[in-house]
Amino acid sequence: MDTKKLYVVALMIAAISGGYYYLGGKGKKLEVDSSRSMTYSAEQINLTQTDEKGLISLKARADRLEQDMQKNSARLTNLNADTFQDSKPDGSFFAKVVNSYDNNSKVVMSNQVLATRFLDSGEKMTFKTSELTGYPKTRDLQTDKQITVESPQAKFLSQGMKANFNNGQYEFFNIRGTYER
């Protein structure tokens, strides 16, 4: 057999076996989406986030993070977060457990939740509850749980709340408390 024929036969065998391995093993190949079903975790998280102008918009610390890529969800333990508006502190949050959904479009804080809103006067308003749901993009907060609110003028209990940190609008339900002027 001459070498030219030997090369052609070898090339045909290589092409056939390559095609067989490619097409025959296609069903057994690892799918790209399978990596999305992985859960990642990290300890001692420190995060600083900036806005489109490059100004600090968020600083956060957490003891532990578990992230599920398939469900686009995450769970944080012992979250301490500070939010900023035009690089000035405007709020802080603490919760023992935080679950986020849909790539952080909905965040549910639970277990000893403390939210603080820094007012323009330099004073602060605090909210204590067992569960608080936040929507970071719209800066809305809400709960149907009992919430204790303390401000410079008042201290009261409410069975639920809706708040918007952008415009400072708060809605409380079934209020019990005292108001001072």
pLDDT digits (tens, 9 = 90+) for 113-125: 998 988 888 889 8
pLDDT at 113: 95
Task: Answer whether 180's CB lies under 8 Å from 154's CB.
Answer: yes
* Predicted confidence (pLDDT) per residue in 69-109, tens digit: 888 899 999 999 998 888 888 889 899 999 999 988 999 99
In the chain, alpha helices (H): 3-24
Query: Whole-prediction pTM value?
Result: 0.70
Q: What are 100's two structure tokens?
A: 């986020």
- Mean pLDDT for the stretch of residues 7-15: 52
- Answer positive or negative: Cα dihedral of 21, 23, 25, 26: positive
Residue 104 carries which side chain, given as an amino acid letter?
N
80 forms beta bridges with 61, 94
The domain made up of 39-179 has a fold known as lipopolysaccharide transport protein A fold (2.60.450)
At residue 120, the 3 state secondary structure works out as coil
